[in-house]
Amino acid sequence: MPERTVLQQADIARALTRISHEILESNRGADGLVLLGIPTRGVVLARRIAALTGEFSGSAIPAGSLDVTMYRDDLSRGRVRTPSPTEIPPGGIDGAVVVLVDDVLYSGRTIRAALDALGDIGRPRAVRLATLVDRGHRELPIRPDFVGKNLPSSQHERINVRLTETDGAEFVSIEGGEAA
């Protein structure tokens, strides 16, 4: 099955704007918020959401990154990528409402690893999850608080998120799968 685009650049921008408003509404403002993106594209999305929430609230929202590579439970399967630096904003995460940001939520294992990594860094008041795409197929009881697009998919399909900062183009596509 050929690759088909499901979100264009304008759709991604709208989704991030909506997520930003929902985060501020849920938190009743910007106080105590920290956004941490999961590399690679989650970091880009966290920075964009931090800029938008800052613009809407009039307050700077700290954003950083949280590498989960060494916390993954599939390291023995050989699917290891080079770790990225974890960057916690000044002030840390203790007592903060941390919003983890990732591009695609699938099995939930990356988020479980992120929760483990977060526990080694500090003790947030609460942890929320924002994802651009939720494709289903959870293996763990993890549910996003803020979703750009629910995209039910077959396990044989692949969701590709491309962002200008990392890929030079901006879209979300789905490829593969079996003929119905």
Distances (CA, A) of 141 to 23, 107, 118, 138: 21, 9, 18, 7
Range of the domain at 149: 7-75+84-154
Residue 1 domain-assigned? no
Q: Please give the chain's pLDDT, 180 residues, in tens.
A: 688 999 999 999 999 999 999 999 999 999 999 999 999 999 999 999 999 999 999 999 999 999 998 888 776 666 666 788 899 999 999 999 999 999 999 999 999 999 999 999 999 999 999 999 999 999 999 999 999 999 999 989 999 999 999 999 999 999 987 644
Digit-coded pLDDT (tens) for 71-114: 887 766 666 667 888 999 999 999 999 999 999 999 999 999 99
| Count of structural domains within the chain | 1
Residue 177 domain-assigned? no
Contacts of residue 101, defined as CB under 8 A and 6 or more positions apart, other chains included, come to: 35, 36, 37, 38, 42, 43, 45, 46, 49, 130, 131
Residue 161 domain-assigned? no
Residue 166 domain-assigned? no
The encoded tokens of residue 14 equal 């709208």
Residue 160 domain-assigned? no
CA angle 175, 11, 169 (to 5 degrees): 60
CATH number assigned to the domain comprising residue 94: 3.40.50.2020
